[in-house]
C-alpha cells in the first residue's frame, strides 16, 4: 500500500492549484436564486448547484485533484477508497479519465444508484457490512495486497483542496457574502471552503450543517477535540460519518463560525422545496446546507438572523435512488 501521511495541511494556494487542475475537467456549476425563499427569509440566497457537478456531487473536485497528482508508479497500481457513494463515483470517474485502476469498498446497503454508477464508471466494488465490519481495515488490507494508493473520502489534503474550489467559484461569482452554509459529514467540503473564505471573504461567517443524529462534528467543536460516535441513522447517507479527520478537524475548529444540526424532517421539507419551487433533484445530504439556513434564520425571537444578509448555500449533491426520492416527496 502507498500512503502519504507526511503531507502538510492544505492551504489557499493548494485550492488555487486544484482549480487549475480541474479547469476543463470539472463543471463550473451554476449559482441560482429563488425569489420565494428570499422573501421568506428576508435575505438574498445564492445556491451553488454542485448537484449538477460531474458524478452528481462536489466530490469529483477532490477526487480528481488527488488522483491528478499521482506518480507514474501510483497510477500503474491504481487507487483504492472507501465510500457510501458520492466519493466512490468521483474516484471511479477520475480514475477512468486518468487511465488507472480503481477499487472502491462500499457498504452493502449503499444506494443502488450510487453502487451501479460506481461500477459503470469502471471501478471494482467490494462490499462490506457497515454494522459489523471496519471499512478502513478492509481497505488497508486490500491496498497492501495490491500495492494501491488509498485516497480517503475527506481526510486528505489534496481532496480538501479540491473540494474548496466549489466555494472559490461561488465567491468569485458572488463576492461579499455574509454567511455561507455547508453540508458536513467528514468535513472535506467545509474545510476546503474555509480555506477559500479566509482569503476571499474573511468577513463571511461559515456554518457547517449536519444531521442531528450524526452530530459528531458539533460535539467535537464543543469539546475541542475529535469526538467519535456510533454509526448514525439518518436519511442523509453522505453524512453518516462517525468522526472528523486529522486534517479536517483543525481547520473547522479554528475557522468555522459554528456547526448546527437539522432533523430528517427538516431535510425532507428542503427536498420538497427544491423539487417544487426550484425544479431540482437534490439528495438529503445535499439539502443539509439549505435546511440549516432555514433553521438558523429562525433561531432568534423575531426570526430575523439572516434578514438583509447575503447568504451562500452549497447544494452538495443530487444522487438519490428515484424510488427513495419519491417516498421522501410523498410522505
Q: Are strands 124-128 and 102-107 parallel, antiparallel or unpaired?
A: parallel
Helix or strand (DSSP H, E) at 21: helix 12-22
Q: 184: domain CATH number? A: 3.40.50.1100
| Rounded distance between C-alpha atoms, residue 278 and residue 54, angstroms | 20
The catalytic position among 34, 94, 297, 316 is: 316
Task: Let me know if residue 8 belongs to a domain.
Answer: no
Q: What is the pLDDT of residues 122-156, one digit of tens each?
A: 999 999 998 889 888 999 999 999 999 999 999 99
27, burial (CB in 10 Å: exposed 0-12, middle 13-18, buried 19+): middle
| Rounded distance between C-alpha atoms, residue 259 and residue 257, angstroms | 7
Q: What is the pLDDT of residues 6-40, one digit of tens each?
A: 799 999 999 999 999 999 999 999 999 999 999 99
Residue with cell 468535513: 187
| Rounded distance between C-alpha atoms, residue 196 and residue 254, angstroms | 14
| Rounded distance between C-alpha atoms, residue 261 and residue 295, angstroms | 9
Is 50:200 a contact under the CB 8 Å cutoff? no
Query: Does residue 128 share a domain with residue 195?
Result: no
Percent of the chain with pLDDT over 90: 87
Q: Which domain holds residue 65?
A: 60-150
Task: Let me know if residue 212 belongs to a domain.
Answer: yes
Q: Which of 93, 128, 150 is the last residue of a domain?
A: 150
The mean pLDDT of 203-209, rounded to a whole number, is 98
CA angle, residues 80, 214, 184, in degrees to nearest 5: 60
Query: Does residue 293 share a domain with residue 277?
Result: yes
Q: Model confidence at 76, in pLDDT bands (50, 70, 90)?
A: very high
Is 106:88 a contact under the CB 8 Å cutoff? yes
Q: Which of 114, 133, 150 is the last residue of a domain?
A: 150
The yes-or-no answer on residue 6 being catalytic is no
DSSP, residue by residue, 290-310: HHHHHHHHTSSTTS-TTTT-E
The catalytic position among 34, 48, 59, 183 is: 59
CA angle, residues 61, 169, 281, in degrees to nearest 5: 65
The whole-model pTM stands at: 0.95
**How many structural domains comprise the chain?**
2
The mean pLDDT of 245-265, rounded to a whole number, is 97
The yes-or-no answer on residue 220 being catalytic is no
Query: Does residue 77 share a domain with residue 214?
Result: no
Amino acid at each position: 500500500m502507498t500512503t502519504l501521511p507526511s503531507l502538510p495541511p492544505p492551504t489557499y494556494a493548494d485550492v488555487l492549484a486544484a482549480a487549475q487542475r480541474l479547469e476543463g475537467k470539472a463543471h463550473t456549476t451554476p449559482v441560482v436564486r429563488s425569489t420565494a425563499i428570499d422573501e421568506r427569509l428576508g435575505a438574498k440566497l445564492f445556491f451553488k448547484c454542485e448537484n449538477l457537478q460531474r458524478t452528481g456531487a462536489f466530490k469529483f473536485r477532490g477526487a480528481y485533484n488527488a488522483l491528478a497528482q499521482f506518480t507514474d508508479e501510483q497510477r500503474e497500481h491504481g487507487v483504492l477508497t472507501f465510500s457510501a457513494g458520492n466519493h466512490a463515483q468521483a474516484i471511479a470517474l477520475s480514475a477512468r479519465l486518468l487511465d488507472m485502476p480503481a477499487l472502491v469498498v462500499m457498504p452493502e446497503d449503499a444506494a443502488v444508484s450510487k453502487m451501479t454508477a460506481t461500477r459503470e464508471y469502471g471501478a471494482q466494488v467490494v462490499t462490506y457490512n457497515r454494522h459489523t465490519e471496519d471499512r478502513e481495515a478492509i481497505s488497508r488490507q486490500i491496498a497492501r495486497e495490491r500495492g494501491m494508493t488509498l485516497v480517503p473520502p475527506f481526510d486528505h489534503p489534496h481532496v480538501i483542496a479540491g473540494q474548496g474550489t466549489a466555494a472559490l467559484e461561488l465567491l468569485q461569482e458572488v463576492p461579499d457574502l455574509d454567511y455561507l452554509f455547508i453540508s458536513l459529514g467528514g468535513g472535506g467540503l467545509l474545510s476546503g471552503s474555509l480555506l477559500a473564505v479566509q482569503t476571499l471573504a474573511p468577513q463571511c461567517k461559515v456554518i457547517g450543517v449536519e444531521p442531528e443524529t450524526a452530530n459528531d462534528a458539533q460535539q467535537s467543536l464543543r469539546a475541542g477535540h475529535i469526538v467519535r460516535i456510533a454509526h448514525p441513522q439518518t436519511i442523509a447517507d453522505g453524512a453518516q460519518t462517525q468522526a472528523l479527520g486529522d486534517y479536517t478537524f483543525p481547520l473547522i475548529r479554528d475557522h468555522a463560525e459554528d456547526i448546527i444540526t437539522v432533523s430528517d424532517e427538516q431535510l425532507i421539507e428542503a427536498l420538497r422545496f427544491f423539487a417544487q419551487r426550484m425544479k431540482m433533484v437534490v439528495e438529503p445530504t445535499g439539502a443539509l446546507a439549505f435546511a440549516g439556513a432555514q433553521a438558523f434564520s429562525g433561531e432568534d425571537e423575531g426570526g430575523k438572523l439572516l434578514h438583509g444578509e447575503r447568504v451562500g448555500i452549497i447544494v452538495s449533491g443530487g444522487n438519490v435512488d428515484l424510488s427513495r426520492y419519491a417516498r421522501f416527496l410523498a410522505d
